[in-house]
Amino acid sequence: MSLYAGNKLRHVRETLGLTLRDVESASSEIAARHANQEFFIPFSRLAEIETKGLVPSIYRIYSLAAIYHCDFRTIFYWYDINLNGLPEDGNILPIPRTHPFASVPHPDSLTLPVAMDPAFDVRRTMDLARMIQRWGVIPLQFIEGFRRGSHSYAFLGTEDFTMYPLLSPGSFLQVDMRKTEILKEGWRSEHERPIYFVETRDEFICSWCNVSDTGHLVIQPHPLSPAKPRVFRHPQEAEVIGQVVGVAMRLGEWTPYSQHSTSEVPARLN
């Protein structure tokens, strides 16, 4: 990979019409400007970088990016380092202490939904992936993972108070589609109890769940929610899509439930 990167760097230099001495001279000025000789690239060292697979230091990558007018992330990519993978790799080791989130590089493009299904209704809970008709690349790329992998994303309807006040209506949910087994125990508080994303014949539901002795799926709202428990035949009438593993929601913005419909009726056992 280092030989490949060296060839790419040489190709860029030659395309720009620069010689090894030109790069050496320019890097010398950069080193002087920053008062740091680490930025300096002797022409002999640049030749080794281009032809022998020598990996440049971060200082010299900076100089090359500046001289070639090339995004430093592109050079990293040539060396098989994809900086867009930092957010995912950063989840490998949980950080025990609260800290500012500032380790993600400034992205240059963003993959976002550019066309939504006309049936999209913010009042109802739904699977976002099914509502997105077309994706488009917009400056500031970061959430391309929205549309791939084992996770799906959902929108909690603005009139869905099933898990309120634990989950506020209008929240965005990350759903792990690998976790479809309904756990019956193992949590110490309501904040640790698994929340599931369920699809019925008529709607999507985000809620705690139980499985009755008869095999029925019981939708269990939060005790402080005005929503009523419901029972579905499983999997004929309701299917568990996955477990909610991430939530993004606004705080301090809510509407009294009395302004919404309260006609929700529990399903009967059949």
> Which string of b and e fits 134-164 if b means at least 16 CB within 10 Å?
eeeeeeeebebebeeeebbbbbbbbbbbbbb
Dump pLDDT digits (tens) for 76-105. Answer: 999 999 887 877 787 787 767 645 555 455
Q: What pLDDT score was predicted for residue 151?
A: 82
Domains in the chain with CATH codes: 2-84 (1.10.260.40), 120-127+149-259 (2.10.109.10)
Look at strands 230-232 and 196-200 and give their pairing: unpaired
Average pLDDT, the chain: 82
More confident residue, 75 or 149: 75
Q: How many Cα atoms are found within 13 Å in the side-chain-facing hemisphere of 105?
A: 17
> What is the arrangement of strands in the sheet containing 196-200, beginning at the earlier edge strand?
126-127, 151-155, 172-176, 238-248, 196-200, 204-211, 217-220, 230-232
Q: What pLDDT score was predicted for residue 105?
A: 52
In 10 A of CB 9, how many CB atoms? 22
Task: Quote the pTM value.
Answer: 0.51
* Distance in angstroms (rounded) separating the CA atoms of residues 171 and 157: 8
The structure tokens listed for 160 are: 């869905």
Q: What pLDDT score was predicted for residue 180?
A: 94
Dump pLDDT digits (tens) for 8-50. Answer: 999 999 999 999 999 999 999 999 999 999 999 999 999 999 9
Confidence band for 266, pLDDT divided at 50, 70 and 90: very low
Q: Is the pLDDT of residue 265 over 60?
A: no
Q: Residue 27 has what DSSP assignment?
A: H
Q: What pLDDT score was predicted for residue 158?
A: 83
* Distance in angstroms (rounded) separating the CA atoms of residues 115 and 135: 7
Q: What pLDDT score was predicted for residue 249?
A: 80
Look at strands 151-155 and 132-138 and give their pairing: unpaired
* Distance in angstroms (rounded) separating the CA atoms of residues 2 and 52: 8
25-34, 102-111, 113-122: the lowest-pLDDT one: 102-111
Q: Residue 58 has what DSSP assignment?
A: H
